[in-house]
Structures are given as C-alpha cells and as structure tokens.
Structure 1
Amino acid sequence: MDNESFLEVETEAPVKVDEDESFSKADTQQTRPWLIPLFIGTGLGIAIALGGISLFTYLPSRQQSAVAKKVAPTVNPAMTVTIAPVEKTRIFRTFNTTGTVAARDLIPVLPQVNSLQIKIIPEDIKEGAFVNKGQVLAILDDSILQAQISQAKAEIESKQADVVSKQAEITSKQASVASNQAIVKQKRADLGQAQAKLEEAEKNFQRYQKLAASGAISQQELDTRFYTVKTAKESVRLAQENIYSAQANVSSAKANIGSAKANVNKAQADVRSSVAKVQQLQTQLKQTVVRAPISGMIAEKLARVGDVTGVPPQTQTGTVIGGTQKLFSIIRNGRLELQARVPQMQLPQIDIGASVQITSDVDRRVRSQGRVREIQPLVNPQRREATVKIDLPVTDLLKPGMFARAAINTNTTMGIAVPQKAVQSQPDGSVILFTLSDEDIVRAQKVEVGELIDGDRVEIKSGLQISNNLKQDISNLRVVVNGASYLKDGDKVRVANQ
C-alpha cells in the first residue's frame, strides 16, 4: 500500500461516520441547520490528525523492516565445550594461619683442622646448590701438615736407631754380668786354695807346737809356723772379700741390664709416639679436604678463599660454634618446614599428621601440600600462640625466611565438587557455573563456593538446583568446563568427545 492509497482510506472513514450521524440526527438538522458545517469541519480535522499519526508510525516500521532484512546475521554453529560430572567428595574444613619457612634440619659444616688457609672452593659450591654426601666443599692448604709429617717421620727413624742402641747396651750389660759371674767363680776357687793353705798351715803349726814342747825345735821356728798360719787366714779373708766384690759386680751388671731394658722400652715408646703423630697428621691431611657430611641444599656459604680456619673474619663473629668457625650450613636433603603460629584456642582442632595447603601472597605459583609434624609444647605467654611445625615438600619456590600461608585441615565432611575451571566469577562478585541439559542447552546457576580441593576442584556449598528449586540428584548433573567463559544462559552447545 502506497502513501496515496493510505491517505485515501483514511479520509473516507470520517465521511461514513458523518453520514451515520446525519441519519441519526435528522430532526436536529431540520431544526438547527447551522450545526451541519460544524460537524463536517470537526470530522475532517480528526480524520486528518489520525491519518498523519498513522503515516509517521507506518513509514519508520517499513524502513526498519527493510534494514532488518538487509543485516540479519547468519546463525553460528553451536560452541564446542567439554563437560565434567558433579562429584560427591570429602571436604576438608581448614584453619587458616601464617608462618615462616625454615630449614627442618640445618647442619653446620665445621673445619676439622684449624689454623689452615682455605685454598680452593669449587665454583659450583654456592648458596642454593644441592650437594651430595661426601662431595668436596673446600680444600685447605696442607703444606704445613706435609712438613710436620716429614719431621715426624724423621723423628721415628731417629728413635728407632736409639732403640737399636739401647738394645745393644742390654747385650753389653748381659755380657758384663756373665763376666762378673765368671770372676765370682774364680774368686771362689781362690778362696778354696786359701782355705786349703790355711788348713795345712794350722796342722803344721800344731805339729811344731808338740816339737817345741819336747825341745826338738826352737821357739823361733815355731813362731815362723805361727806367722804362716796367720798369713793363710788373711789370704782366706781376702779371697772371701774378692768373692763379695765379684758378686756385687754381678748384681750391678744385672741392674744395668734392667736400666738398659728400661731405656729400650722408653725408646720404643718414643717410636710409637712418633708413629702416632704421623698417623694423626696424615688424618689431618685427609681432613684438609672439607666434604659435605650429608646430602642437602647449601643454605649458607661463609667460607672464602684465603680465610684461615678457626679464625673467622670480624664480620662472621656470630658463625663460631664451639670455638670453631662455621664454613657452610646445609639443609638436610633440602627439607623445609613451615613454622606456623596457632592461637591456643585453636590448638585442640589440629592433629599431628593433618594435611596443610601452603600458599604465598608473593608467588602465586606456590601451592604445596604439607603435613603437620609437630606441635611445640610451649605457648608464647605474650601472644598466647604455639608454633606448629609443618613438613613441606621439596620445591625451588620456597626459601628459608619466606612468609607463607597455611590452611590446616581440621575435620572432614561430605560435599559436592566441580572442576575449578567450571566456576566463573562475575563483575558483581558472584560466582556462576553452567549446567548442561539433555537438549545440550546450558543454564547459568549462581552458586556459593567453599574449599579448594586438590588444587583443581572446588566445593559447591549451595546453588546447584533444578527448576523446581529442590536440591537435585547430582548423579547425572554435568557442568561445562572448557568454554564456560564464553557462554550465556540458554546457549546451545556441542559437547566434545572425551
């Protein structure tokens, strides 16, 4: 219908109305003829007004219809998504706290030999490096020990020669004893001869006494025999003294043998002492190579080439342990722990062995699973807090001294969970996920999330409801995972084969 025809129809309508009115008011026209022009004019005005309004509303609608026919978009194919079932699972309730990462077992490495200069430190020995048990950490200058070993070996040779000399003295003393014993025998033989002569002289003197009494010999001759007896007695006495002297010489020689043996024992002891000194120096020589006592990560490297062991630099006065300078600190097997602070009111909720989720505000990559190893028995009287030690897995993301957060599991309940990717945050702070119907139509549902489970699933505390607002059976409930961020309520999707 064009504009002219539209106007034509619109102008005819008032005329019909006027005719109807004229028939109904015939009597009035007869009595009041001046009203006819008034009615005709009013009708024409109304018709013109109505026609104008219809025209203005009709023309834009036709133009819009034409534009719509030109720009109507083609329907895109359904988006391909992946889905996952809603699962019933155990939900661990947690207590959140903070703490400091520390070494679980920090082992100091001390030099076993003091007063030696550090000669070499391998380039790969640095803080943060992992070392194996027995690996070389530093090498000390052993020139002083080498000189001491050479001197001790020379002392051994000298003392061994002294032992040989003392042993020769024993042989000489033993020969002297034998010689003196032979002299004793000889002196005893001399005593026997002297006693025999004395016995003979006494018999002769007795015979001459009888002869002198009978006057057969003179008194002078009797006196001579008397002096002979006296001389024989003196010879016997002298022979006895010679025996005593010889026996004394034997005893002295035997004593000299004992002294010589003592000298030999002392010389042999000196040899053993020198040998022990050499062994000690050789042990210290081996200890000039500082090795890692355990496998682990180097936490501190305090040693520098040129330092003297046992004499820490002034800047390291706090690194002396038991009078010995600490060279390195090693974290045994690289194991760390989180020393978390827990108020005393929450301590009854925490059990040894409870799992702990570790996170960091600084590094979002930190998401470790720890376990409560120990609850220290003492409570800080100022803060009313106890320290809970949590074992941490080996990771390069955590370092001693770092601040971390801990979510300690306190109890377990049954709940439902979905993959974390299925949950979509909204600008108003709410959270939605998309459920899939049998017709592959997605429906957005606002939900309330709870605990994070195993790092990739999240608890759904409420919101998963069917159309009649009743809690639905989740056995067949599916949620959109990949592609959820591009959907809106009511979209039809294509499910990827999994």
Structure 2
Amino acid sequence: MKRFVLLVLLVALGGGGYYAYRQQHSAGQEARASAVAQPRAVPVEVANVELMTVAEEVEALGTLAADEMVVIAPEIAGRVIELGFKEGESVKKGQELVKLDTAILSAELKQAQADLGLARDTHERLRSLVSRGSGTQVSLDEAIAKLASSEARVELAKAKLAQSTIVAPFNGVVGLRSVGVGDFVAVGKPLITLTNIDPIKIDFRVPEIFLSRLKVGQPVSMRVDAVPDRTFTGQTYAIDPVVDINGRAIRLRAAIPNADLTLKPGLFARLAITVDQRLNAIVIPEMAVVPDGMGKMVYVVDGGKAKRIPVELGKRLPGKVEVLSGLTPKMQIITAGQMRLRDGSAIAIKDKPLRTSQL
C-alpha cells in the first residue's frame, strides 16, 4: 500500500513539472513570434524645419578708392602768408586752406576802380553833350567802349584777389603739405591733397554670367585684411555698361559708409554682393541629409515611422543647408539615427543626443 501511494505521488509531480515546462515553452514561442512580427523601434533624434531669409551672394575682390580727391594748386602766382589747416585733419567745405599775399592784387584793383570812375564820368559828359547836340556820336561810342573795358578790368582784379585765398571745395581730409608760409608758389604748383573718404568707394568685377542678376542698390558686405575683426556693409551705386572683353567681367562700384575714417584708399578688400534674397526659405541641419545615388534625401517623421523623401538642396550655411524642394514647413526631420532606417521603419524619438554606440 505504501508503495502504491508513493508511485501516485511521483506520477503527480512528473505531470505537474511537464505542464509547467509546456506553459513556459509556449510563452517563449509567443514572445519570439511577437518580436518577429513587431520589429524594435529605431531610436532617432529629430528637429523642426526652419524658415529663414537666405541670401545668394557673389564673391569678388576689389580696391578701395576715395569718393572724391583733388590736388589743391593756386591759379595765380604769389607768396604764401597763411595756412589754415593741419596735416591729416578734417576740413569743411569752404574752409580757408591757403592765403597768398594780396598787396599787389589790392593795388591793381584800386587802380582799375579809379579808371572805372573816370570812364563813367567821361561817358556821362559825352552822353549829355550828344543829347544837346554839342558832342559827336563817335566820341560817345569810344566812351562807352572804354567804360566797358574799365568794368572788365575791375572784375578781373576782383577775381584775382579772390583766387589769392584757396578754400576747400568739399568736406574731406587734408594730406601732407608740400608748401610752407613764405614760399613763393607758381601757377599750378601742387600744395596739398584733399580727400573725401566718407563714404569710401570700391571698384570690383564679377563674371558676366551674373549680368541679368545685377542691379543698382544691391547690398554689399566687405572685409579688409587691415581690419580683420570687422565687416563693413554698403551698396552698389553704379554698373559699367561695357563688359570687359579681356576678362569677360562686369565692373561695378559700391559705396561703403566710413564715418570713423577707418578705411583708407588703396586697401585690398574681399567682398560679397547679394544678388538675390529668398524669404521664408526652408533650412534643415546638414547632418540630416543622406546620399541617395546621384541625389540627396532625408527622413521625416510620419505617424511614428520614418518616411524617405528626395530633396533638392540650395545654398549651404554653417551647419545647415537650404532645401529648394521636397519639404514643407511643418515637417519634422530626423537628424540622427537615420543610417539604420528604411522607408517605413518604426522610430522612437529620443530627447537626448544618441551615443555613437546607439547609432
């Protein structure tokens, strides 16, 4: 009897163990089947499409030049008695720069004025005599001519006297002088240079292929090696109507504000002229772009899955790139983890950057 009871217990224990094993094996098979049926989501990072203004630029090289520059020289000979400037300082339009001795010119003016007074008196007497029939018309005509000649000599003397003072024809900066007080200067002798460098202008050339895109008033940004930490801006104001047949280039001229007189004529400059601006252009991180044969493509988020979209790229920016076609402003772009994706792959968006091992 004891043996029978022991046998029953062993059979019961064996049956229970076998049942538990079958249940566990069945659960494992179901889990594996579920894993096969539902692939694990790929962890990715995403970013929103950006809208910004993208400027299309053409780079060029140029040389700075003064807006206006003249060599100050006397129109009459004379001795310098006064200088009204200091070398390198700014002067205003109409400011007296050089004065010449006027002693001789003043005497000539007084003599011409005295001759004019006598000519007027003679003219009046003869006109009165002719009106009374006592004088001749020939004498009156001679008096009229002499009066006109005397008036012309007075005007000439005044003009010479005015030329004894040389004034600035425009606002500018005076250069180094080559004359001093007491020097006798001849007609046309260079005394100083007067330069206006606010604004300063720059001449540059661009290839003829951009001719249809060039317009007066387009913005220009410029950098010079002499001031490497600053960018100067201005705009074009003249386009040469003739294309250079040697270099097949178009010559342009731009004006750059230079209130602090930092820029100097003769400096070499690198500049970029904005020939086009696209408002609300679609821009995405450059790392989101994936090579696709001869073209490019990106993955976007579409209902928890990755959707593959071919794109046409435009201008490249620091860390970003413009997309000309293929995307809309409301799309989310996958920026990391896309190398493990296929069209329609399930994705899991991560808030934190993925480690290299995850990718």
Does 2:224 match 1:364?
no
Post-superposition offset of 1:382? 2.8
Residue 82 of structure 2 corresponds to which residue in structure 1? 120
For each residue in 1:67-119, what CA deviation from the matched residue of structure 2 results, as whole angstroms up to 9, or x when unmatched?
A: xxxxxxxxxxxxxxxxxx996421212221101111234456554x4223333
Q: Secondary structure of the residue that 2:78 maps to in structure 1? A: coil
Post-superposition offset of 1:145? 0.7
Contact 2:76 2:163 in 1 (8 A): no
Residue 321 of structure 2 corresponds to which residue in structure 1? 461
**Residues of 1 paired with 2:238 and 2:220: CA distance?**
13
Residue 131 of structure 1 corresponds to which residue in structure 2? 91
Which residue of 254, 262, 268 corresponds with 1:397?
262
**Residues of 1 paired with 2:121 and 2:215: CA distance?**
73
Residue 380 of structure 1 corresponds to which residue in structure 2? 244
Matches within 5 A, 1:484-495: none
Q: Secondary structure of the residue that 1:290 maps to in structure 2? A: strand
Contact 1:415 1:460 in 2 (8 A): no
Does 2:337 match 1:337?
no
Which residue of 409, 416, 429 corresponds with 2:274?
409
Residue 244 of structure 1 corresponds to which residue in structure 2? none
Does 2:161 match 1:285?
yes
Q: Secondary structure of the residue that 1:137 maps to in structure 2? A: strand
Structure index of larger Rg: 1
Letter in 2 for 1:460: K
**Residues of 2 paired with 1:102 and 1:86: CA distance?**
44
Letter in 1 for 2:82: I
Residue 172 of structure 2 corresponds to which residue in structure 1? 297
Flag structure 1 segments of 5+ consecutive residues without an equivalent.
1-84, 175-253, 317-325, 419-448, 452-457, 471-476, 478-488, 490-498
Letter in 2 for 1:115: A
Matches within 5 A, 1:75-154: 88-106=51-69, 109=72, 111=74, 113-124=75-86, 126-127=87-88, 129-154=89-114
In structure 2, relative to structure 1, the CA distance for the partners of 1:466 and 1:141 (3 Å cut) is same
Contact 1:100 1:340 in 2 (8 A): yes
Residue 238 of structure 1 corresponds to which residue in structure 2? none
Contact 1:121 1:304 in 2 (8 A): no
In structure 2, relative to structure 1, the CA distance for the partners of 1:120 and 1:263 (3 Å cut) is same
Identity %, equivalent residues: 22
**Residues of 2 paired with 1:97 and 1:136: CA distance?**
41
Q: Secondary structure of the residue that 1:351 maps to in structure 2? A: coil
**Residues of 1 paired with 2:258 and 2:338: CA distance?**
47
Residue 187 of structure 2 corresponds to which residue in structure 1? 310
In structure 2, relative to structure 1, the CA distance for the partners of 1:459 and 1:352 (3 Å cut) is farther
In structure 2, relative to structure 1, the CA distance for the partners of 1:339 and 1:263 (3 Å cut) is same
In structure 2, relative to structure 1, the CA distance for the partners of 1:86 and 1:311 (3 Å cut) is same
Letter in 1 for 2:111: Q
TM-score after normalising by structure 1:
0.42
Letter in 2 for 1:376: D
**Residues of 2 paired with 1:330 and 1:338: CA distance?**
15
The alignment yields a C-alpha RMSD, in angstroms, of 4.0
Residue 326 of structure 2 corresponds to which residue in structure 1? none
Matches within 5 A, 1:184-263: 257-259=134-136, 262-263=138-139
Flag structure 2 segments of 5+ consecutive residues without an equivalent.
1-47, 286-314, 323-332, 340-350
Does 2:217 match 1:353?
yes
Q: Secondary structure of the residue that 2:57 maps to in structure 1? A: strand
In structure 2, relative to structure 1, the CA distance for the partners of 1:151 and 1:417 (3 Å cut) is farther
Post-superposition offset of 1:288? 2.1
**Structure number having the greater strand percentage:** 2
Report the number of matched residues. Answer: 250
Bigger mean CA offset, 261-270 vs 90-99? 261-270
**Residues of 1 paired with 2:120 and 2:236: CA distance?**
65
Residue 289 of structure 2 corresponds to which residue in structure 1? none
Matches within 5 A, 1:470-489: none
Q: Secondary structure of the residue that 2:185 maps to in structure 1? A: coil
Letter in 1 for 2:247: R
Post-superposition offset of 1:277? 2.0
Contact 1:303 1:328 in 2 (8 A): no
Residue 150 of structure 2 corresponds to which residue in structure 1? 274
Post-superposition offset of 1:282? 2.4
Post-superposition offset of 1:349? 4.3
Matches within 5 A, 1:50-69: none
**Structure number having the greater helix percentage:** 1
Contact 1:366 1:397 in 2 (8 A): no
In structure 2, relative to structure 1, the CA distance for the partners of 1:369 and 1:167 (3 Å cut) is closer
Post-superposition offset of 1:406? 0.7
**Residues of 2 paired with 1:263 and 1:415: CA distance?**
93
Q: Secondary structure of the residue that 1:123 maps to in structure 2? A: coil
Post-superposition offset of 1:381? 2.9
**Residues of 1 paired with 2:121 and 2:234: CA distance?**
69
In structure 2, relative to structure 1, the CA distance for the partners of 1:263 and 1:352 (3 Å cut) is closer
**Residues of 1 paired with 2:284 and 2:106: CA distance?**
71
For each residue in 1:237-283, what CA deviation from the matched residue of structure 2 results, as whole angstroms up to 9, or x when unmatched?
A: xxxxxxxxxxxxxxxxx7xx343x54355345434432442233224
Contact 2:73 2:188 in 1 (8 A): no
Q: Secondary structure of the residue that 1:377 maps to in structure 2? A: coil
